[in-house]
Structure 1
Amino acid sequence: MYLADEAWPDLGTYFEAESLAIVPLGSTEQHGPHLPEGTDHLIAEALAREAAERTGYLCTPTINIGVSPHHRQFHGTMWVDAPVFRDYVESFSRNLAYHGIDRIVYVNAHGGNVEHLREVGRRLHDDETAYAIEWMWDESIPDLVDEAFEHNGPHGGPKETAMLMHIARELVHEDRMTDARDGGRVELGADELREHGARTFYDAVENSPNGVFGDQTDATPEIGAELFGAASDQLVKLCEWLAAQPFADLMPDPHVD
């Protein structure tokens, strides 16, 4: 069920029977010369809508702009400051709680949102408003992602390219995938990003001239369909698990005597 498509009396029926909502979140930011700036929110929404369709749980409209200042040097990248993002998502979530939602799955497809969504989840958990958890599609199927690509890359790489080729192939500039690889950075070792234990960069452009990593030419729509199906399965299982938990068991434990 997609909230924005429903009339309010029908939503009332949902809230009487269920207490879980799926909230897709992403970003609007550069993803190299070959992918649209909406890559992250397109992936998040597609997965959230698929899970909602399969389970009957409520999917909200997508939060399209996230915490992306580390991509700001590239044309068109949009972002909000981290405190603003946290406050917005928290307010949005408390809105859902007002209608009877007490458990939320943040279907997130942007790494820059992770720590902030976890902080929002902690706030809602601490005051026992709701149990809200952050979920990243690629982290739900790490072995499959690793097996699919020799050079994966954390941003704009073959995993996101393959997913977009499956979800919205018409938005992928397939004729630019070689340029994306050759103009970006294929290998990205953890040791290269640190000096004497300190992280030495802030922005993506400091590590990749065109903003992306990995070998995009390894991506295919067939691999994208496999990744999408496997991640959707994990999201469905997560929603079903969360919905089955007694609310009291999800809330904070009492103070130790």
Structure 2
Amino acid sequence: MTLHRLPDLTWEDVSALDLARTVAILPVGATEAHGPHLPLDTDVTIAVAMAEAGGRRLSAHGLEPVLLDALPYTPAGFAATFPGTIDVSAGTLAALLTDIATSLRRAGIAALAVANAHFDPTHLEALHGAVDAINGSGDMRAVFPDVTRRPWGGRLTAEFRSGACHAGQYEGSIVLARSRERVREEIMRELRDNPVSLSSAIADGAQDFVAAGGARAYFGNPAGATAEEGRDTIEVLGGILAEAVLEAMAWENT
């Protein structure tokens, strides 16, 4: 089996899939400020990389992974004051996700997996709420491995685990691996390390990047980013997604 891309298929192609073993994979990210060196769609780039890597693994298990177009607009309040950031309401995200699931369910697709690379707390809350609602319907299984939670986050890099990882080494490495030409490398290599933990700042009540200590919309060590680390991280993310789907659907031994 192969990794299908929904926009490339016809409706008859979709109906011909083994729908009981089909997993629709939705990459979710934000369009928001990622320092002076990374593109606004950095989270989307990471989410697509995760979705593709996870889809390849699911295909190797004999499943029918179908990659949906990425969802690039979501709550992004922490970066809302930076030009270029698109910040939508939590309700908009939740409604869109549940509507997507309804369409997939109508087609007979068994599962929806969310490959997420955006960690704004409002965004995460909306995702969890929508996934719970989809699962509560009883007609489709929705899977969302939240890498900000155990056990998934512990598999990622030291910078990610530190919480100082917005547009730093972790994210910069993945974008270098995926589309190096879109990284402002000269700027990136000159940026100083910003070891402030964004997750800790959020827990302490910060409401935006500036208040959290990221006046240029980055946290971590951008200058340390490498494409090699990015490629390794993409494979870890793909493994997390595939494992979560297999566990949720009890497909490991079928």
Instruction: Give the TM-score normalised by the residue count of structure 2.
Output: 0.84
Per-residue CA deviation, residues 99-123 of structure 1 (Å, 9 max, x unaligned), is 1123211100001222111100111
Distance in 2, Cα, partners of 1:75 & 1:180: 20
* Separation in 2, partners of 1:42, 1:213: 18
Say what the alpha-carbon RMSD is for the aligned residues. 2.6
Amino acid aligned to 2:221: D
The answer to whether structure 1 residue 229 and structure 2 residue 244 are counterparts is no
Q: 1:7 maps to which residue?
A: 10
CA distance in 2: counterparts of 1:16 and 1:245, whole angstroms? 14
Does 1:188 pair with 2:197? yes
Q: Hey, what does 2:31 align to over in structure 1?
A: 28
Q: Aligned-pair distance for 1:49? A: 2.2
1:129 aligns with 2:135: no
Alignment of 1:61-100 (within 5 A): 61-100=69-108
Deviation, 1:144, is: 4.3
Task: Give structure 1 regions of 4+ aligned residues with deviation exceeding 4 angstroms.
Answer: 136-139, 148-152
CA distance in structure 1 between the aligned counterparts of 2:45 and 2:160, rounded to whole angstroms = 21
Q: 1:121-176, CA deviations, whole angstroms, 9 ceiling, x for partnerless residues? A: 11122232322122245763534401x78976131111000111111111111111
- Corresponding residue for residue 68 of structure 2: 60
Name whichever of 130-139 and 220-229 sits farther off: 130-139
Give me the TM-score of the superposition, normalised by structure 1.
0.83
Larger Rg, first or second structure (1 or 2): 1
Alpha-carbon distance in 2 for matches of 1:221, 1:160:
10
Q: Is the contact made by 2:188 and 2:222 (CA closer than 8 Å) also made in structure 1? A: yes
Asked if the contact 1:26–1:44 (Cα under 8 Å) also holds between the matched residues in 2, the reply is yes
1:141-220 alignment, distance < 5 Å: 142-146=154-158, 153-181=164-192, 185-188=194-197, 193=201, 199-206=204-211, 207-220=213-226
Which consecutive unaligned segments of at least 5 residues does structure 2 have? none
- 2:102 corresponds to which letter in structure 1? R
Question: CA offsets per residue over residues 58-115 of structure 1, 9 Å max, x none?
Answer: 1111111111022111110012111111111111111111111232111000012221
CA distance in 2, matches of 1:114, 1:123: 14
Q: SS where residue 192 of structure 2 aligns?
A: helix
Q: 1:117, 1:141 → 2: CA distance?
A: 17
Residue 104 (str. 1) matches residue 112 (str. 2): yes
How many residue pairs get aligned? The number is: 239
| Aligned amino acid, residue 66 of structure 2 | L
CA contact (8 A) 2:44 2:72 kept: yes
TM-fit CA distance, 1:244? 3.1
**One-letter amino acid matched to 2:177:** H
Is the CA contact 1:15–1:100 (under 8 Å) kept in the aligned structure 2?
A: no
